Structure 1
Amino acid sequence: MKHTRGRQQSHAGGGQLRIIGGTWRSRKLPVADVEGLRPTPDRVRETLFNWLTGWVSDARCLDAFSGTGALGLEALSRGASEAVFLEYSAKAAQTLKSNLQALRSESARVEQTDALQWLSHPASQTFTLVFLDPPFRKQLLQPVCKQLQSNGWLAQDALVYVEAEKELSPLPVPANWELWKEKSVGQVISCLYRVG
């Protein structure tokens, strides 16, 4: 199972990721040449981090299905205290590690792993901000949300951002996740939840 940020479109090379705000603003980083892998678009990230104003500083972040790591890197750039990146593709995970070294980040770690497997046991820590952008049409969203909730990975009042295919709406999230912000563009829906 490949846990990259793949969509339906074909991929034509590694390309670059640009960090859009914070300490590393305008830094450009290489993206692994992995089929289907692409950063969350700048406009989507800008909307998300406008939603998150006041919540990112000192946040403990989990970027599951991290792919390029665009969301977790953006959070670190804007003052998050920690980020854990889960990425199944060895090539994408290695590129992410190299990018973190280039940024001299000491508050992040990359786990080359299956996100569902990593989250399947009782939590070893809790996260205040979680990014979920699983590959589309792989039926991963509901089980990953359930594991985050039932295995204790979410801190009290955590925020969870979900990017998913619009046909899933309303998204299959736990009942105690309160929808706070929502936006849809094309076939993609972006939702921010507050965990009760």
Structure 2
Amino acid sequence: MRIVAGRFRGRALAALGKGDPGAHLRPTTDRTRESLFNMLAGGRFGDPITGARVLDLFAGTGALGLEALSRGASHITFVDDGAKALVLIRQNIALCGAETDTRIIKRDARRLPPNDGAPCDLVFLDPPYAKGLGEQALTQALAQGWIAPEALIVWEESAAITPPEGVTLLDSRRYGDTVINLLRAS
């Protein structure tokens, strides 16, 4: 795994191999991440990255958030409660030298505390597939003030999703077993 573009371009991230099924770690492949960020940068959704405050729910390795930071986001909040994931996120933040631009919340993404700062403009949501956890986490993030009006939400899943009230599905694209859904908070 590596950062695809931006100021950390080419930076190798901590290795996980093919993933950790026991810890539900399934990193987004470099190719899928590159396709996703090309889609975001394509102009159809404005410029959702530059200067964005990013919320990375079920952060796993932190690769999505760090890719956004590399491409111009201003701050990333990573949320995960897995011991292995938290070690990898910390390692990857250190590899990028991004400690001052990041925050880690060790918590189940479905149980976010109230947000004590500015809401996030870009949200990555990559829950364990087919367990309905994404709907719960997104509902909680909205209720606790983590998501700004008009925020763009990138939700990775293996099947169709049911966006919660207050969120509109804009686009869905399949990459192998992964479906990337782009949504907008209203």
The two structures have a TM-score, normalised by structure 2, of: 0.86
The one-character-per-residue Cα deviations of 1:41-91 (angstroms, maximum 9, x if unpaired) are 122112211222222011000111011111001001001100011122222
What amino acid is the match of 2:37? F
What amino acid is the match of 1:178? T
Check conservation: 2:61, 2:92, Cα contact below 8 A: no
Deviation at 1:35, TM superposition (A): 2.2
1:35 matches 2:23: no
Gaps of 5+ in 1: 1-16
The one-character-per-residue Cα deviations of 1:106-152 (angstroms, maximum 9, x if unpaired) are 201222221112x2x43323111000010013221221121122222
Check conservation: 1:32, 1:92, Cα contact below 8 A: no
Check conservation: 2:121, 2:152, Cα contact below 8 A: yes
Aligned partner of 1:75 in structure 2 is 68
CA 1:29–1:172: 2 relative to 1, 3 Å: same
Aligned partner of 2:58 in structure 1 is 65
1:112 matches 2:106: yes
What amino acid is the match of 2:135? Q
CA 1:115–1:154: 2 relative to 1, 3 Å: same
Aligned partner of 1:122 in structure 2 is 114
Deviation at 1:32, TM superposition (A): 4.6
Question: What is the RMSD computed on CA atoms of the aligned residues?
Answer: 1.7
Distance 1:186 1:103 in 2: 29
Gaps of 5+ in 2: 42-46
Distance 1:102 1:122 in 2: 30
Distance 1:155 1:55 in 2: 12
Deviation at 1:99, TM superposition (A): 2.0
Identity %, equivalent residues: 39
Distance 2:58 2:182 in 1: 17
The aligned runs of 1:1-196 (5 Å cut-off) are 17-32=1-16, 35-36=20-21, 37-53=25-41, 54-105=47-98, 106-117=100-111, 119=112, 121-125=113-117, 126-166=119-159, 169=160, 171-196=161-186
Provide the secondary structure at the position in 1 that maps to 2:168. strand
Corresponding residue pairs, total: 175
What amino acid is the match of 1:30? A
Check conservation: 2:14, 2:91, Cα contact below 8 A: no
